[in-house]
Structure 1
Amino acid sequence: MARIGVLSISDGRDFVHRQTEEFIADAECRLVEALRGAGHEVLTAPSAITSNREAVRHGRELADAHPDLTVLHYAVWAFPQFTMMTAEAIGGPMLLFGSIDPVQPGMVGMLAAGGALDQIGRRHWRAWGAVDDELVATIGRYATAARTVGSLRGQTFGRIGGRPMGMNTTVANTDQWQRRFGIDVEEIDQWELVLCSERVPGAQARAGREWFERLAAGVHYDGCALTPDLLERQIRSYVAMRELITERGLDFCGIKGQPELTDNFATMDVTEALLNDPYDFEGPKAPVVCATEADMDGALTMQILQSVGGGVPALFADVRHFHADRGIWDLCNSGQHATWFAARSDDPAENLRLVHLHPEVFFFPAGGASIQHFAAPGEMTFARLTRLSGTYRLQLTRGDFERYDDETNAELARQSTPEWPHAFARWDAPADRFLARFGANHVHAVPGDRRATLRAAAELLDIEVEDLGEPPSPGAGR
């Protein structure tokens, strides 16, 4: 949940404010209690704003508490300059809420204030109406978007290795990231991962292997591409990445993997899946976004999706195949899918009973286990930050994951790579439009319809949103 500031704006005439003070306080109380009831932390001022000095003082005091979003509340007619002074003092994301009540012209106060802000180009959102569940949800979405964007600034992305297999879409401009998102990029050689993994205690690696053997639907050793020693090497790599994340202060990361590690060390499937999971063999853990192929824009998209999704794991997948006869997409990419997606449970036993560890396929001669399962059904938002002529855009669509009977799942998986995880997706975007316009081979997803929150976040970032499930506007470019 978010931290929300609430400031009520009033009339600047003393004799008017004396008559409306109680009305304003009662209306503010209803708003504050509703937001707190939804789980948000709410900060307020000691009184409504009735002068420029109060606007600056209350605004600065609230700004010092670093709210994700500040709601300026209009229950009555309010002098617009108070809003202008408050906005200057606040500085951060702001929403104007106008109470709809025929007794007092709160809506008029909101419109006058909003128009004044428009004249100077001060971005803000607006909401109006009764204090009900719909209003609280609307404010919550904007607050979540503001929290998401604000949290990016000051984060560090750890890129383990460089560009994989000539994939330009996985490499972003670090200057552009610093300027637009406030994110630093820490470059780390893959050799660090190998060296750190050698220092992981044998007992810890063994515990991870036995955890999979005990809880997974199957660990299919073949004595060559997958052995107990290779699985323990993958566990060591995971533990080593956790240590690197702590030592280097990384907030999210990506591992190149191909071809150096996958040719000579081990595939990173287990490492990447466990980092994105909310648990491991030692207990609950906060998931850390880790993108395969060191995909920077993919990792950033996942970081945003994880935030708007309330902390649940975000999916990373290739757009592998379109089954035209069924109208579904097979989203499949090595072992990158977090095991959480198998049952969408915080209990690893619930997920792992649906997960198989298979010997890795010929693409990865160093061997190791691939994480295989079929994603649980449910509504999803699919999205990715892509770049058109160097400018970021957020491409998205709403859809659903589908899962079928065992025979159908297996038959569909055999048409691509059965050893890898699969998410069968049906989304709003028509196949022709998606294939003609989508700017990458990787796509990401989070449960629920999060499009409204993502649009608000993109607005704060000055990024265009392209909903591929909606027809493009006339004259829209590529």
Structure 2
Amino acid sequence: MKQAKMLTEQTTIQQKKPVIGVFSAGDPRIDDQSRERCRNIVKMVADTLADRVTTAEVVYSTILVDSERQADIVAQQFKEAGVSSLVCAPDTWAFPQLSVISLLAHFPKRTPINFTCGNSGPKPGVVFAHATNGAVTQSGILSHLNIGSWPDTGQNPVMTKETADSLVDWAYAAATYQAMKGRRVVVFGHDSMGMETALAHILPTRNIFGLEITRLDMKLLADMLNKQAYNKEEVKALRAWCDKYVKKIELRNDDDSQKLNTSLAMYLIVRDLLKDLNAVGGGFMSQLEWGSDPRGIPLPVADAMESFFNSTFDHNGTKPVMPFATEADVQGLLTMLFFSQLTGGNPPLFMDFRKVWEPKEITEVAKQLGVPLTGATIWEQKGFFDGNNSGSAAFDWAAKPGASVEEIMSRVTFPLQDFGYFPGGGNSVTFLTPGGIEGVVGRLGYNAISGMFSLIWDEAVTLDLPDTLATKVCNTTNREWPHTFVSTKYASMYEFKQYGPANHNHMVWNLPVARLQYWMDFTNVLSVAPWAARPVLVEGVDRSVPLLYLQNGGENATKLMLNGR
């Protein structure tokens, strides 16, 4: 009697990166020299991806897909290698149905596929790319076309930087889309302070992103603190690290010192819980029950814990970012999670959309303070908003990208929290982000009418203000919280303050716009950038619009039709 095969009873999990498979279609009538050039191009494309994309593994096949037989063979190779995204790099004419379409039949309908080719004339792979992209698109499948450039002749052509950049952005987006499937975030508590925009939309998050939301009660954390279910020696090591590196820690007495230690113990407890659950992110409700409701026993704030999670280091050295949202803001958490993944792990910024300073208002304040006006600064011309929230600000944002831990933490202080709002006490985290950091600012939102997520976003840069003006701006809100002065590239401050989807906003540095747009294509997230000053297409910045959208009434119209399919 034939018996089933028993798998090993392993007790650990090794998280694997998504795999991108690179191949080329071919034509059996083409000469051997051209076929060899095709194989070399496949390797060149695969090596480019492997060298520049840190979040995915890359494999390639030297079998040219001439017909259905080769399509079946390459598909089997790719499936055995765990391939979940496809790149076709043609250099000659081939037949779409006999090659790519037959290969695609082996993969789920929403498998990311990219056609990257040179704009070659001799045996036109570009003709094949257009023909196949059109064929795939007419069946309702999303595909991306990257008509780039490499030499028409020679056995070992090399793609241009622009061609590679477009392909790499696509690959990061595809890897992020696939990497989050089956992963989970862990959120302590329920939706904080009745913030409906922070709700954990469990079913849509699962169905659209493939991401699970594990919910744990804050009582578990309170109990573990009470039981001292943490490594006491490590708490001492973490406290010693803070004493050494944090510029200033405000403490009045031994009770304040113990509350800081409790906040640091929270970091270690939650860190271990997230590790046990193989989580990729987290969030903590805090208000009101944890530290603000005097009917209970208010506990110390979680600000330091949240900042450590979002940072690229802690007392043990360099570590991966663990996107973590204050106030159990799940939409904020998802935004930071995807922003960070798309950049290969850059630290996200969590901030209140606290106060918008339009040009007229900030220049009036500057005049009152005697600050000279030149009319040449961004804050005079466009204004900015003060990103300012008690928790979740990564320490990294206290300095410019690439700064050392010593430099970053020399700009960070731990003042005592506002006891009116947080009677449980403890220390907040504060710093002033330097100007000149460029990135993307935005936030995911969800709407019940469409059943879809949307992202309101823009390119942005952080600003420096004259010292007296910066002090005035910080004191206008909460001086004891982190402050980041952000100006958007296309949105006016009037537009940005009116169109914010919630009271929180988020930023990450070095996120190419095209990469973000590719990701919104894969996840079917609506792109919301209704700024009057932004062109429909910014060449060299935006990804080229997929043919699927052009043929179905535009990007958002197509996404609405695709929803639920």
Is 1:451 aligned to residue 513 of structure 2?
Answer: yes
C-alpha deviations, 1:380-422, integer Å up to 9, x for none? 2002111233431111111101133544332221111100000
* Kept in 1: contact 2:284–2:328 (CA 8 A): yes
Note closer, same or farther for the CA distance 1:33–1:309 as it changes in structure 2 (3 Å cut). Answer: closer
Amino acid at match of 2:239: R
Change (3 A) 1:367 1:242: same
Structure 1 residues 137, 85: CA separation in 2 closer, same or farther (over 3 Å shift)? same
Question: For the residues of structure 2 that align with 1:19 and 1:365, how far apart are their CA atoms?
Answer: 77
Shift of 1:250: 2.3
In structure 1, give the amino acid aligned to 2:89: H
Q: Deviations over 1:355-379 (max 9, x none)?
A: 0110101211111001000113310
State the match for 1:75 in structure 2.
91
Closer/same/farther in 2, CA of residues 255 and 350 from structure 1, 3 Å limit? same
Equivalent residue number for residue 178 of structure 1: 206
Q: Aligned partners of 1:387 and 1:117: how far apart in 2? A: 30
Q: Which residue of 2 aligns with 1:278?
A: 312
Pair 1:158–1:2, CA change in 2 (3 A): closer
Residue 460, structure 1, aligned to residue 522, structure 2 = yes
Give runs of aligned pairs for residues 145-160 of structure 1, distance below 5 A.
145-160=173-188
Is 1:376 matched with 2:434? yes
- Cα distance in structure 1, aligned partners of 2:347 and 2:83: 25
Equivalent residue, structure 2, for 1:259: 288
Match of 2:244 in 1: 214
Query: CA 1:236–1:61 in structure 2 vs 1: closer, same or farther (change >3 Å)?
Result: same
8 Å Cα contact 1:100/1:129 also seen in 2: yes
Once the two structures are TM-superposed, the CA of residue 211 in structure 1 deviates from its matched residue by 1.7
Residue 87 (1) aligns with residue 104 (2): yes
Q: Does 1:233 align with 2:262?
A: yes
The reply on whether 1:299 has 2:299 as its aligned counterpart is: no
Amino acid at match of 1:97: T
Structure 1: tracts of 5 or more residues without a match: none
**For the residues of structure 1 that align with 2:44 and 2:473, how far apart are their CA atoms?**
53
Distance in 2 between residues matched to 1:5 and 1:395, nearest whole Å: 32
Contact in 2 for aligned 1:262/1:268 (Cα 8 Å): no
Alignment partner for residue 133 of structure 2, among 99, 114, 117? 114
* Distance of aligned partners of 1:210 and 1:27 in 2 relative to their CA distance in 1, 3 Å threshold: closer
Deviation at 1:437, TM superposition (A): 2.0
Say whether the 8 Å CA contact 1:320–1:332 is kept in structure 2: yes
Bigger drift between 87-96 and 49-58 goes to 87-96
Normalized per residue, the structure richer in strand is 1
Query: Which range moved further: 185-194 or 341-350?
Result: 341-350
Residue type of the alignment partner of 2:506: H
In structure 2, what is the equivalent of residue 31 of structure 1?
Answer: 45
Please state how far the C-alpha of 1:432 moved relative to its aligned partner. Answer: 2.1
CA contact (8 A) 1:403 1:424 kept: yes
CA distance in 2, matches of 1:291, 1:360: 18
One-letter code of the match for 1:451?
A: V
SS at match of 2:424: coil
- Aligned residue identity for 2:162: E
**CA positional deviation for 1:468:** 4.4
Aligned residue runs from structure 1 range 16-415, under 5 A: 16=30, 18=32, 20-38=34-52, 41-67=57-83, 69-81=85-97, 82-91=99-108, 92-130=111-149, 131-197=159-225, 198-223=228-253, 227-263=256-292, 264-324=298-358, 325=362, 326=379, 327-343=383-399, 344-345=401-402, 347-361=404-418, 362-377=420-435, 378-388=437-447, 389=449, 390-415=451-476
Q: Which amino acid aligns with 2:440?
A: T
1:4 paired with 2:20, answer yes
Aligned residues, how many?
Answer: 474
Q: Secondary structure at the match of 1:369?
A: coil
Q: What's the CA shift for 1:206?
A: 2.7
Distance 1:340 1:24, change over 3 A: same
1:2–1:143 Cα contact (<8 Å) kept: no
Give identity over the alignment, percent. Answer: 24
Gaps of 5+ in 2: 1-16, 150-158, 293-297, 363-378, 537-552, 558-565
Quickly say closer, same or farther: Cα 1:23–1:287, change in 2 above 3 A. closer
The question of whether the paired residues in 2 share the 8 Å contact of 1:160 and 1:189 is answered with yes
TM-superposed deviation, 1:425: 0.5
Q: Distance in 2 between matches of 1:287 and 1:107?
A: 40
Is the Cα–Cα contact under 8 Å of residues 334 and 420 in structure 1 kept in the other structure? yes
| CA distance in structure 2 between the partners assigned to 1:115 and 1:335 by the alignment | 48
**Match of 2:396, as an amino acid?**
W
Q: What's the offset of the Cα at 1:62?
A: 1.3
- From the superposition, tell whether residues 193 and 347 of structure 1 become closer, same or farther in structure 2 (CA, over 3 Å): farther
| Matched-pair contact (CA < 8 Å) for 1:68–1:143 | no
Q: Distance in 2 between matches of 1:107 and 1:139?
A: 16
Closer, same or farther in 2 for the Cα pair 1:202/1:405, shift >3 Å? farther
Q: TM-score, normalised by structure 2?
A: 0.79
One-letter identity of the residue aligned with 1:385: L
Question: Any conservation in 1 of the 2:53–2:172 contact (CA below 8 Å)?
Answer: no
RMSD of Structure 2 on Structure 1 (CA): 2.3
